[in-house]
Amino acid sequence: MAAFQERPVGFFTDTSICIGCKACEVACKEWNQLEGNKPELLLDSFDNTGQLDAQNWRHVQFIEQIPDNNGVVMNPTPIAGGQAWLMMSDVCKHCQNASCLEVCPTNAIVRTEYDSVFIQQDVCNGCRDCISACPYGVIGFNEKTGTAHKCTLCYDRLQNGLQPACAKACPTESIKFGYLDDLQAAADKRLAALQTAGYKKAQLYGRDAKVYGGLNAFFLLMDEPEVYKLPSAQNATLPSRNNLAGYAGGFVTAVVGLVAGVLAFRSQRMNEKTDATR
Amino acid sequence: MPPAEHFAAPPNWEWWILAYFFFGGISGGSYAIGTLLRLVGTPADQRAARIAFIASFVALLPCPLFLIADLGQPLRFINMLLDASGGGLSFKPWSPMSLGSWALLGFGLFSFVSFLGAVADGGWHAADPIARILRGTIGAVWNVIGTGLGFFVCGYTGVLLAVSNQPVWSDGWPLGGVFLASSLTGAAALLLLLARSRRDVDAGTSVRLELADRNFVVLEVVLIAVFLVTVAVAGTIGKMSGVWLLLWLVVILGLAAPFAFTRVDAARRWAPVTAPILALLSVLALRALVIFSAQT
Amino acid sequence: MDRARQLYVQGRSTWGYETEGAPLDGPPGTTQARAKRDPTLQHPRSVFQLLKSHYSRYTPEMVSSITGIPVQQFNDVAKIVGEMGKPDKVMTIVYAVGLTHHTTGGQLIRSGAVLQLLLGNMGRPGGGMNAERGHANIQGNTDHAISWDILPGYLRIPAPGQKSLDDYVAASAAKKSDPNSWNFFGTNYRNFTVSLLKGWYRGVATTSNDFAFHFLPKPATNSSWMSIFDQALKGKMEGVILSGMTATSIGPDTNQVMQALSNLKWLVVMDPLPTTSSEFWRAPGMDPAKINTEVFMLPTTHWIEKDGSFVNSGRWSQWKEQVIPPEGEARHDHWIMADLFDRVKTLYRQSGGKFPDPILAMTLDYNDPKKPELAEIAKEINGKDLLTGSQMTSFANLKADGTTTAGDWIYVGSFTDAGNLMKRRNGVQDPAKNDPTGMGFYPTWAWSWPANRRVLYNRASADLDGKPWDAKRPGIQWNGTTWTGDVPDYPATMNPKDPAAWLPFIMNGEGTGRLFSSSMLDGPIPEHYEPIEAPIPNPLHPAQSEDPVAFLYDQAAGRPNRFGKVDKYPYIATSYRLTEHEHYVTQHVPLLVGLQPQAFVELPEELAKEKGIRTGDRVRVTSERGKIEVAAAVTKRLGPLTLAGNTKVYHIGIPIHWGFIGVSAEQNPDKSKYWLANALTPFVGDVGARTPEFKAFLVNIEKID
Ligand SMILES: Nc1nc2c(c(=O)[nH]1)N[C@H]1C(S)=C(S)[C@@H](COP(=O)(O)OP(=O)(O)OC[C@H]3O[C@@H](n4cnc5c(=O)[nH]c(N)nc54)[C@H](O)[C@@H]3O)O[C@H]1N2
Ligand SMILES: Nc1nc2c(c(=O)[nH]1)N[C@H]1C(S)=C(S)[C@@H](COP(=O)(O)OP(=O)(O)OC[C@H]3O[C@@H](n4cnc5c(=O)[nH]c(N)nc54)[C@H](O)[C@@H]3O)O[C@H]1N2
Ligand code: SF4
Ligand code: SF4
Ligand code: SF4
Ligand code: SF4
Ligand code: SF4
Ligand SMILES: [Mo]
């Protein structure tokens, strides 16, 4: 099959129709031959995967939003009624301004012809700086390969004209793959429909440039971003924001330190001199 | 400003990194103090300057090893400097780790040469030509540039942490300054210890080192305070409390020692050895505290 | 209870329509009674008025006190549902085992059907009472008579006393009760049955021997799942073959099922993987030394390793390809069965037997009778015209004279001389071409029974004049000369305005939807009964709380009933699936085990607080029949229910997927000892279908320290 055109592609993950089946998690592992972490019983609602990491490039979050009302739901539209079981399939956001790419010292992290953010496994040396930088906790370190791993946006599949495995497996089409502009148009339509239907908190995350210049893998959320462990637009900051202040602080400290040192050694010399003339 | 929220995963930087931060800081700090002693000190201070340059290089020696050992693919350490995919150099000025790698390389050169000069002065004549050059203006310039690089090595580690999205680290831009100041206190303490252990070092030098040490401590305390304020504003200061208060105690003890020991009579006898050791432990504790607390 | 059952059973003969007028013509030489009709619906004994008064007792308050649903919420839902009775609206009800796993399962489904009939949602695209089938091929299973009480194509299993084909058809085929009723099924019953017999017994089945009708078994006993194990418990079973079914994990009252297996002389398990049945003798609590059952494991291929068809909930039979080749010594089920049959046949031929004829006469018209291809079987199921040798194309052409065959009449047309239509794949690649009506019928995608029709009873999608109820959602419509749209279930050129035109519900004797049915054992109009184990007496009639005709196996066999009471077992439990696992088989799939690694139960936060249980704690859940020991998952999703006015009841949710076999069980040998959910469930089931009552029973829960 022909490869995809070389223009921005991405995901529109519509959490409002996710059923939490985790087919995406499994499909990703199958395609990418990830064996998964050792099974662990977390029982965080129905989640036993825990987080995105080197073995989990998709992770379905389960968020139980049930106010204390003796389990009585008075409103038949659950989310409007304040009672909801939110599910969201999380993944690398393929940020326009990618924190991981920014800090990577080896240029192992690159932007591909599809505008995705990709870790070149043969270049990465496992310094893990990208892990400290990614604001979404996406990247994990694989002890066996000694390198950092995350969603590749199925780079290998795209080059062969196949859509990403997770999107392909998703039975509800909660994960929609496509060219970014098409996805954005679809997302706008979907959001409008939900808002008309009374889902007032529904919102798009990463659709526009407010977080990290826009996310190529963006989401439709049914509540505030923090609920899904996503930084809000205000909190979505790049690591490099601290470069200037950090170095400036260091520079000032260096100067003051030098002055402090000179003062210490000079003042003693004065004493010595007076001593000598005495 | 709303409190920062962090959803980043920890990079699991642990003991190797702590060791590097410690030794790198001591090395850079020692070099700076060596330069100060050489350029503004008395002739009597020159012995101590030599010790400082030697100490700087010895402390620096294991640093690349720590860093390489920490890598998942140690053999690819060279990718920090050479771009394995695009060809050419890997040089990303906005990436502290990239910049730091180059700085470490550069500082290694300066430290090594100064080390050679110092051992030549100490009687290893093979290096005499180097020592001769270093004694002149070129030497002064060399020391000043080396100090700049040394400071960079001390401080960039803090910037490296700050340039991330980790709680605490990225909430505290002053970390670079904090580490730099603490490198100076640590280096001063180490040199004091070394100076006192050697009879040939002038007693006045020790006194001046003590004074410098106390100045550095004041600087460090101020910076720690600024750092804590920034972290408190971001709302993540809680991460550094709990069990970490024990490490804070070590930090504080080390910072207080140079002052306390001169005042408390009973401690005076032990002060010459104990205070610097406590100060060094404080340097270690501070780094451990910052590195580990944010990642748990 | 016994007396209630007796009265009930005696009363059943009185369930029927009042009749009037001249009888209608039946099969040659017979007549059929004409049901009395009142199109105004006013007659107090009309079905409509009876329904109305029957259900007037189910006030919102009553519904609330039975189910715990708040009145307001019920009214909200009722309002939405009520609005679906308009022509421009349509609603579907999709159900699965939430309805069937009750002693009243059949009635629950019927109540949904009655509701949909009243709302006018039957036969319309997007309407209906739809079974969401279970295993990938459960629909195909029932179509091809995996159930104990039917022959292929939902023909009834003959009953004792039916001496001839005539007897059988007279007792089984629906009777016409309205002159405008086509009564298609009843009318063709004989054609279908004879074609089936001709398919099976070919040359031996002739007019002179009633097409070998006497070969068919006429069982006097119930052979439902529970009945089989009941017989084993009674020591009346010598051996059992389990193929693709894990009795010890799936059946109610596991401990009793294992007892039943221990009573066998031999057990054959045909499965690609070890199961709790093939290993039942080493289950925790079993003493292998005391079990004399000889267990044979016949490794089969998994369905991924063979081709064949899956039939989905919409009755689309979709041919699939083999995905991977078989591993090791695994053999296809149908090859094992064919080989087994061949050996049995040889034995009969060599040494005779009580009744060898049906076995010796069985037609096995395959290239290699010991290794039939699934395509050959599919072709045989479709059937052929014995005179011309060509494949049948329509069940309407099946004959009762022995010139046609059909292994399953509803599949006629699926595999014609044009080939295997189930392989067709014209779908969303080109919707304009492949879905000409735009209604999602995709008529050349696979093949659906009957006759590739996509919506059953689609005559009801149009009004009496043949106009769609909703122009935006046409099923079929009359264009003046012919019916267009979906494959009509109506004669293609029958003018709806013709006074002799058939009524829309072509399969029923009435020609209309059955608001009243005499075919259910526990009543012609659905009624609420509490589960056998219930926390409250039935608010409608406390004196007769549970289904009066529920069959109590233990009691009937002289074993003590093992039902718990609310004093000892105060909590309601229900059992269900998780998306991450397919019953018990995915216990062998590491990636899925990773998603849901260990057995757990869900319990409400309030109850957990009372009991000091936190998420992750180990708990023991007990019923009158057994126990499980699993992790606790505390959740607010399960709130307490208020029943019978003011009784507060907690609900415990039990996912069913674990046992002592599989990746996780092996990794956690101590923890996994008591992971079989069905150790708790009661050995009782639906009155007719005998589907076990997995969805409601009583338990207690405590923390394991
Ligand atoms: N992932 C996965 N999918 C499967 C299977 C599997 O094992 N795993 N199994 C397949 C099979 S064989 C089957 S039969 C189907 C079964 O599919 P489902 O019918 O969905 O199966 P359950 O999860 O057992 O039960 C469904 C729901 O019934 C509800 N319920 C319980 N009692 C009542 C009641 O009285 N009234 C109503 N309205 N609801 C009630 C429960 O809340 C529960 O959520 O799933 C099929 N699909
Ligand atoms: N408490 C409680 N109990 C329940 C239920 C419940 O909701 N609650 N649900 C019930 C329902 S609806 C069902 S359907 C049952 C499910 O019960 P089962 O059908 O027994 O469950 P599976 O694990 O799907 O078992 C199928 C077996 O078939 C094997 N298999 C797969 N493919 C093939 C093949 O091609 N040939 C052969 N021979 N074997 C094959 C698998 O390895 C597996 O061991 O559980 C029932 N039990
Ligand atoms: S989500 Fe994280 S890993 Fe993915 S591109 Fe953005 S910063 Fe990089
Ligand atoms: S771990 Fe690899 S990808 Fe991440 S920053 Fe280091 S070199 Fe780059
Ligand atoms: S795009 Fe590919 S690599 Fe990324 S999560 Fe989906 S399946 Fe995994
Ligand atoms: S596959 Fe789709 S529906 Fe299932 S969990 Fe993933 S995103 Fe949700
Ligand atoms: S039928 Fe649908 S829900 Fe069931 S396993 Fe297949 S894709 Fe999943
Ligand atoms: Mo099922």
> CATH number for the domain including C577?
2.40.40.20
pLDDT at position C9 over 80: no
Instruction: Tell me the pLDDT of chain C averaged across its residues.
Output: 95
How many CB pairs (< 8 A) connect A and C? 76
Q: Which residue of A has its CA nearest to C655?
A: A46
Chain B residues with beta carbon closer than 8 angstroms to that of A234: 2
The pLDDT tens digits for A115-137 are 999 999 999 999 999 999 999 99
The pLDDT tens digits for B28-64 are 999 999 999 999 988 888 999 999 999 999 999 999 9
Identify the three-state secondary structure at position C256: helix
Question: What would the two tokens of residue C231 be?
Answer: 């017989």
Residue A4 lies in a domain: no
CB-CB neighbours of A268 under 10 Å: 22
Residue C277, burial from CB neighbour count under 10 angstroms (0-12, 13-18, 19+): buried
Where residue A68 falls among pLDDT bands split at 50, 70, 90? low
Q: Which residue's CA lies nearest to atom 8 of ligand 6? A: A18
Q: Please give the share of chain A, as a percent, with pLDDT higher than 90.
A: 84
d(CA C368, CA C388): 24
pLDDT at position A70 over 60: no
Residue C579 lies in a domain: yes
Together in a domain, A234 and A259: no
Lowest mean pLDDT among A69-73, A255-259, C36-40, C334-338: A69-73
Q: Residue range B253-266: average pLDDT?
A: 78
Q: Please give the share of chain C, as a percent, with pLDDT higher than 90.
A: 92
Q: A70 and C639 in contact (C-beta within 8 Å)?
A: yes
Residue B5 lies in a domain: no
Q: Residue range A148-174: average pLDDT?
A: 97
Contacts of B132 (CB under 8 A, 6+ apart): none
Contacts of B294 (CB under 8 A, 6+ apart): B10, B161, B166, B167, B168, B169, B239, B240
CB contact under 8 A, A141 and B72: yes
The pLDDT of residue A14 is 98
The pLDDT of residue B260 is 78
Lowest mean pLDDT among A129-143, B260-274, C337-351, C525-539: B260-274
Where residue A80 falls among pLDDT bands split at 50, 70, 90? very low
Lowest mean pLDDT among B35-49, B53-67, C400-414, C479-493: B35-49
Residue C607 lies in a domain: yes
pTM of the entire predicted model: 0.93
When divided into structural domains, chain A yields a total of 2
Residue C92 lies in a domain: no
Together in a domain, A131 and A226: yes
Q: Residue range C505-527: average pLDDT?
A: 93
Q: Which residue of A has its CA nearest to C638?
A: A71
Four-CA torsion B179, B182, B187, B189, nearest 10 degrees:
-160
- CA neighbor of C283 nearest in space, from C273, C272, C274: C274
**Residue written as token pair 């049995």:** C344
CATH number at residue A213: 3.30.70.20
Residue B2 lies in a domain: no
pLDDT at position C28 over 80: no
Residue A227 lies in a domain: yes
d(CA C605, CA C636): 5
Residue C81 lies in a domain: no
- CA neighbor of A119 nearest in space, from A127, C382, A111: A111
Together in a domain, A142 and A266: no
Residue C321 lies in a domain: no
Best residue for ligand 4 mutational test, from A99, A101, A109, A110 (most atoms within 8 Å of Cβ): A109
Ligand 3 centroid, distance to A213 Cα (angstroms): 12
CB contact under 8 A, A125 and B77: yes
Q: Which domain holds residue B163?
A: 15-293
The pLDDT of residue A277 is 40
Identify the three-state secondary structure at position C19: strand
The pLDDT of residue A74 is 47
A39 touches chain C (CB under 8 A): yes
The pLDDT of residue C1 is 54
Question: Which residues, listed in sequence order, are joined to residue A88 by a DSSP beta bridge?
Answer: A61
Instruction: Give the ligand whose atoms come closest to the C-alpha of residue A60.
Output: 6
b/e burial code for range C322-339 (CB count within 10 A of at least 16 → b):
eeeebeeebbbbbbbebe
Angle at CA C695, nearest 5°, toward C694 and C700? 90
d(CA A46, CA C621): 20
Q: Ramachandran region of residue A189, left (φ > 0), alpha (ψ -120 to 50) or beta? A: alpha
d(CA C155, CA C192): 8
* Phi (first) and psi of residue A118, to 5 degrees: -130, 135
Residue C690 lies in a domain: yes
b/e burial code for range A130-155 (CB count within 10 A of at least 16 → b):
bbbbbbbbbbbbbeeebbbbbbbbbb
The pLDDT of residue A108 is 97
Chain A residues with beta carbon closer than 8 angstroms to that of C595: 22, 25-26, 48-49
* Phi (first) and psi of residue C696, to 5 degrees: -155, 115
Residue C548 lies in a domain: yes
Q: Residue range C289-309: average pLDDT?
A: 96
Chain A residues with beta carbon closer than 8 angstroms to that of B40: 261-262, 265-266, 269
Together in a domain, A258 and A138: no
d(CA B287, CA B18): 7
Q: Which domain holds residue C648?
A: 542-703
Bond from prior residue into C450 cis (ω within 30 degrees of 0) = yes
pLDDT at position C392 over 70: yes
Q: B223 and B215 in contact (C-beta within 8 Å)?
A: no
Instruction: Tell me the pLDDT of chain B averaged across its residues.
Output: 92
Q: Residue range C161-184: average pLDDT?
A: 94
How many CB pairs (< 8 A) connect A and B? 245
CA atoms within 13 A on the CB side of C354: 1
Identify the three-state secondary structure at position B107: helix
The H or E element that residue C380 is part of is helix C374-382
CB contact under 8 A, A253 and B177: yes
d(CA C358, CA C205): 10
Residue A146 lies in a domain: yes
Q: A26 and A60 in contact (C-beta within 8 Å)?
A: no
The pLDDT of residue A76 is 43
d(CA C227, CA C683): 10
d(CA A228, CA B45): 61
The ligand 3 site (C-beta within 6 Å) comprises A 92-95, 98-100, 117, 134, 136, 138-139, 150
Question: Which residues, listed in sequence order, are joined to residue A109 by a DSSP beta bridge?
Answer: A119
Instruction: Give the ligand whose atoms come closest to the C-alpha of residue B97.
Output: 4
Together in a domain, A167 and A272: no
Q: C691 and C685 in contact (C-beta within 8 Å)?
A: yes
Q: Which residue's CA lies nearest to atom 8 of ligand 4? A: A104
Q: B72 and A145 in contact (C-beta within 8 Å)?
A: yes
Q: Which domain holds residue A155?
A: 9-238
Together in a domain, A91 and A114: yes
Q: Where does C120-208 have alpha helices with state H? A: 138-143, 165-172, 184-201
- CA neighbor of C314 nearest in space, from C449, C435, C414: C449
State in Å, rounded, how far the first CA of chain A is from the last one: 95
When divided into structural domains, chain C yields a total of 1
Where residue A278 falls among pLDDT bands split at 50, 70, 90? very low
CB contact under 8 A, C616 and A41: yes
Chain A residues with beta carbon closer than 8 angstroms to that of B211: 264, 267-268
d(CA C283, CA C469): 58
**DSSP, res C587:** G
CB contact under 8 A, B177 and A250: yes
User: Tell me, what amino acid is at C385?
Assistant: D
Question: What would the two tokens of residue C296 be?
Answer: 């044979």
Residue B3 lies in a domain: no
pLDDT at position B270 over 80: no
Of how many residues is chain B composed? 296
Question: What would the two tokens of residue C647 be?
Answer: 């009784």
Range ranked top by mean pLDDT from B192-201, C216-225, C389-398 = C389-398
The pLDDT of residue A275 is 47
Ligand 7 centroid, distance to A170 Cα (angstroms): 10
Write the residue in C594, C631, C636 that is nearest to A43 by C-beta: C631
Q: Which residue of A has its CA nearest to B102?
A: A105
The pLDDT tens digits for B107-116 are 999 999 999 9
Together in a domain, A147 and A255: no
d(CA B175, CA B165): 14
Of how many residues is chain C composed? 705
Where residue A209 falls among pLDDT bands split at 50, 70, 90? very high
Instruction: Tell me the pLDDT of chain A averaged across its residues.
Output: 91
Residue B10 lies in a domain: no
The pLDDT of residue C519 is 87
Find chains touching chain C: ≥3 CB pairs under 8 Å: A
Q: Residue range A138-152: average pLDDT?
A: 98
d(CA C297, CA C426): 41
Question: What would the two tokens of residue C549 be?
Answer: 């005709």
Best residue for ligand 1 mutational test, from C109, C133, C139, C576 (most atoms within 8 Å of Cβ): C576
Lowest mean pLDDT among A227-231, B205-209, B266-270, C106-110: B266-270
Interface pTM, i.e. ipTM? 0.92
Where residue B14 falls among pLDDT bands split at 50, 70, 90? very high
The pLDDT of residue B10 is 97
Question: Which residues, listed in sequence order, are joined to residue C49 by a DSSP beta bridge?
Answer: none
Angle at CA A184, nearest 5°, toward A181 and A190? 145
Together in a domain, A230 and A247: no
Q: C660 and C672 in contact (C-beta within 8 Å)?
A: yes
pLDDT at position B2 over 70: no
Laid out side by side, the sheet with A9-14 consists of: A175-179, A9-14, A217-221, A203-205
CA distances from C143 to A54, C200, C310, C376 (A): 47, 17, 11, 18
d(CA A139, CA B88): 27
Residue A83 lies in a domain: yes
d(CA C414, CA C421): 5
CATH number at residue B205: 1.20.1630.10
The pLDDT tens digits for C235-263 are 999 999 999 999 999 999 999 999 999 99
Q: Which residue of C has its CA nearest to A75?
A: C73
- CA neighbor of A145 nearest in space, from B72, B10, B71: B72
Residue C663 lies in a domain: yes
CB contact under 8 A, C595 and A25: yes
Together in a domain, A158 and A70: yes
The ligand 5 site (C-beta within 6 Å) comprises A 27-28, 31-32, 57-58, 91, 151-154, 164-166
pLDDT at position C673 over 50: yes
Contacts of C458 (CB under 8 A, 6+ apart): C123, C124, C125, C475, C476, C485, C486, C487, C488, C489, C490
**Residue written as token pair 């300057």:** B49
d(CA C559, CA C561): 6
Question: Which residues, listed in sequence order, are joined to residue C633 by a DSSP beta bridge?
Answer: C602
Lowest mean pLDDT among A214-218, C31-35, C346-350, C529-533: C31-35
Helix, strand and coil in chain A, % to nearest 5: 35, 20, 50
Together in a domain, A157 and A261: no
pLDDT at position C316 over 90: yes
A61 touches chain B (CB under 8 A): no
Q: Which residue of C has its CA nearest to A50?
A: C595
